[in-house]
Amino acid sequence: MRIFKKQRRVLGFDLELAAAIALIFFSVAFLRSWAGGFSLIASGNGSPVDWQKEYDKLKAKIDKEWSEPHHLSGTSYWASKNLDEYIQWMGIKAGDRARAAELGARAQNAGNPYWYEKFTNLQELAQESGETTLWQGVFIFMRIIDSPRGRADTWTSAWFKASPGVGRRLYEAARQHDFDPSHVRAAAQCLMRFANGDWESGLTGLYGDREETIGDYDAEGYLCLPKRDYDVSCELRDFAHVLDEGTPHRMADKAMEEGEMLRETCDYWRLTEERKDTTDIMDEYLRAKDENWLGSGKTRRVLCEMPPDKGHAFFLKLAEDYDLPKAKEYIEGFYAKLKGKVEYEEEDGKREPAAGAVVTVTDPHDGTEWVVEADDDGNYEIEKVILHKTCGPFPITAEYKGYKEEDEYEGPLEEPNKDFEHEKDLLIRADAWEGTIAGTWEMKAGEDESVLAAIMHCGEYEIGKNWRLRLKFKKDRGNENIVVYALDEARLDFFSESLDMKAMQMEREGQKIEMSGKEKAEARSRKLSKKECGLELAVNLKKKTYALTGKIDVQGIASEGESRLDVKVKPIIVDEREATEGTTGIKEEIEIKGTFNDEKPTRFNGSRNEMDSVLPEFQEFMKALAGKIEWKLSWDLRKKSEK
């Protein structure tokens, strides 16, 4: 019994001692956990988390990757130019932020405020790291480069930086990974402002030689520099003031496509003011003109001239399709009233009102027609018909009793005026002739194919001229046997002349000397004076012959081209180009004779090779001297008659 009691006392002492020690350890652990020093605790799945280890590991990773995808090593610095890397690293740093948030949440759930705060701070550090990567990406890929030492941005490169390929990728990646996208949008805003300005006035813009200045007008109307910080590359359009409009360069449809591209980008970024600037530029461009084009004193307009083969309806549709109300109103202002009187002249010269005559006006560019009938007095009126001077001339016809008079009028309006009234009278003659006369001339020779080509040392050339005149003849005098028709109207339908020449073509062992030149002249729809075209048609009804005779002397058609000297003979390297200009024209002595079989002829037509009138010996001489020569004349005249 004594032995048992002694052992119990010993055992009791041990149990009490162990309990005391456990209580002490628990208390210390509790206090240390509040002080942040207790780094091991069971995780949610029962496994312990070493908070210090996890923290050190994640912080080291964030610190190491802070500058990615830029690399710093001592004094050296390397920045990635691969956009994909920036987007990839934003995803990696968003993952670090998520890991810090996860560990912070676990610490909070474990009742560990110290580590919760530490991981929250780490989460903010990862956020800053990702924001830095995003900012670096914006700086590398979305800043405006205007340094003369580098390749400066144009409106197209600025648009590309803000487009889906660059700016939008950065913006969408920032939103996806919860980084602040506001400075991406700010960069895009600056890019689109720059793009608008350069698109309008830059080297590759809509206008050439446009002069602008910056500043704000004060109360007295003086232009002063702004009393604020500003960046000329990042301002709205009203910051600049135009001093000289310059010359419009771009075809209207191409300009509208470019503008819509810019507007769509503005829409994505919700840039309301910048979109309005783009729209205003588009609106103004359809109304643009240069009143002293190339110093010639002539006016060049976008409307009907850029492109030149499109009519008013084309430009009006552009204004409607791209929602440009000012341009639409401007174009519609060239549609006003055309009125006049239609008369019919018998073969004996007696005239009468052409009551019920059908009058048709046509836009030659697109075939748009306006058709009305003359009243009992032969008067007609067409409302809202095209009267634009630049887009003319406009064909107008009158049909009456089976006869048809074809004429044209020049539009009188240089500026819009819906209330304008233009008069155009028409006379339908029963005894009249109308038609065309045309000429074609070509001379060409290859290397050593003519004396001229040989003299030019391996030279070659091709020269061509084509023209056509539209003629109207009215009865002038005559009797029952011979009727003479005087020229009533002549118009140059079209004219083209070209020269393409190479001379002094010498090349040996990579060394080269060559001279070349090109010239071109074009004209169309030009009304000719009596001095420029003095033709007459005589019809001998008794002998059944006709003769078209007289002179054509049309001069002053502008030509332009370029001469070039290309020398590559070391140490001399020369590539000189010089613009050439001059005038050309048509100078012909016409004597066309023919026969007919009908009692009352209705058509005279034919063609001939003018070289056939040259003696064979002289033909051979000309061919040897100048090369292949073609010279043809053709004509087609019809008498007005009942259909």
Angle between helices 252-269 and 272-285 (to 10 degrees): 170
Of 354, 530, 335, 337, nearest in space to 424 by CA: 337
E strand segments, 430-481:
432-445, 460-478
Domain extent at residue 398:
333-429
Would you say residue 43 lies in a domain? no
Are 22 and 6 found together in one domain?
A: yes
Please list the residues that pair with 494 across neighbouring strands. Answer: 468, 524
Cα Rg, the chain, nearest whole Å: 43
Q: Is the pTM of this model over 0.85?
A: no
| Residues 131 and 30 reside in one and the same domain | no
149 found inside a domain: no
Same domain, 481 and 526: yes
- Name the region of 268 (left: φ>0; alpha: ψ -120 to 50; beta: rest): alpha
Q: What confidence score (pLDDT) does residue 537 get?
A: 94
* Residue 642 pLDDT > 60: no
Give the list of residues 6+ apart from residue 195 with CB closer than 8 angstroms, or none. Answer: 155, 156, 158, 159, 162, 262
**Residue 74 has what pLDDT?**
60
574, burial (CB in 10 Å: exposed 0-12, middle 13-18, buried 19+): exposed
- Over residues 542-559, the pLDDT tens digits come to 899 999 999 999 999 988
Instruction: Taking residues 569-575, report their average pLDDT.
Output: 69
User: Each residue of 577-586: pLDDT tens digit?
Assistant: 788 888 999 9
Number of domains in the chain: 5
Question: What tokens does 463 get?
Answer: 């020269």
Q: 540 and 596 share a domain?
A: yes
Co-location of 56 and 194 in the same domain: no
The stretch 605-633 carries a mean pLDDT of 81
Condensed to tens digits (0 to 9), the pLDDT of residues 464-493 reads: 899 999 999 888 888 878 989 899 889 998
Which segment of 261-275, 319-333, 498-512, 593-607 scores lowest on mean pLDDT?
A: 498-512
Give pLDDT tens digits for 31-90. 444 444 445 544 445 567 899 999 999 999 999 999 899 866 665 667 888 999 999 999
pLDDT over 90 at 252, yes or no: yes
Confirm if 422 and 412 have CB atoms less than 8 A apart. yes
Q: What is the CATH number of the domain that holds 379?
A: 2.60.40.10
Q: Are residues 59 and 72 in the same domain?
A: yes
* Mean pLDDT to the nearest integer, 424-449: 85
376, 508: one domain: no
394: which strand partners?
409
Q: Which residue has the higher pLDDT, 65 or 243?
A: 65
Dist. CA 427–CA 446, nearest whole Å: 52
On whether both 562 and 631 belong to a single domain, the answer is yes
Is 490 within a domain?
A: yes
Q: Are 180 and 248 within one domain?
A: yes
Count of Cβ atoms closer than 10 Å to residue 344 Cβ: 22
> Does residue 40 lie in a domain region?
no
When pLDDT is cut at 50, 70 and 90, the band that residue 505 belongs to is low
393 domain-assigned: yes
Least confident interval from 65-79, 171-185, 198-212: 65-79
What digits encode the pLDDT tens for the residues 381-397? 999 999 998 888 899 99
Domain end: 112, 142, 172, which one? 142
Q: How far apart are CA 278 and CA 258, in angstroms?
A: 10
Residue 339 lies in a domain: yes
> Which of 330, 354, 388 is where one domain is finished?
330
Based on the fold, state whether residues 496 and 372 are members of the same structural domain: no
Residue with tokens 């914006």: 138
* DSSP code for 128: H
* The pLDDT of residue 64: 92
Tell me what pLDDT residue 563 has.
Answer: 81
Residues 339 and 321 in one domain: no
Domain for residue 365, yes or no? yes
Tell me the C-alpha distance between 537 and 406, whole Å.
19
Tokens at 543, concatenated: 């002998």
Interatomic CA distance for residues 636 and 433, integer angstroms: 10
Residue at 97 is within a domain: yes
Q: What percent of the chain has pLDDT over 70?
A: 86
With a CB cutoff of 8 Å and minimum separation 6, the contacts of 80 are: 69, 70, 71, 86, 140
Domain-ending residue, one of 292, 314, 330: 330
Q: Please count the residues of the chain.
A: 643
| Mean pLDDT computed over 302-308 | 91
| 2/137 same-domain check | no
Q: Please tell me which residue, 344 or 450, carries the higher pLDDT value.
A: 344
Alpha carbon distance 107, 507 (integer Å): 84
Percent above pLDDT 90 for the chain: 52
- The pLDDT tens digits of the residues spanning 96-153 come to 999 999 999 999 999 999 999 999 999 999 999 999 999 999 999 999 987 655 578 8
pLDDT for residue 30 is more than 80: no
Q: In the predicted model, is pLDDT for residue 380 greater than 90?
A: yes
Burial tier of 31 (Cβ tally within 10 Å: 0-12, 13-18, 19+): exposed
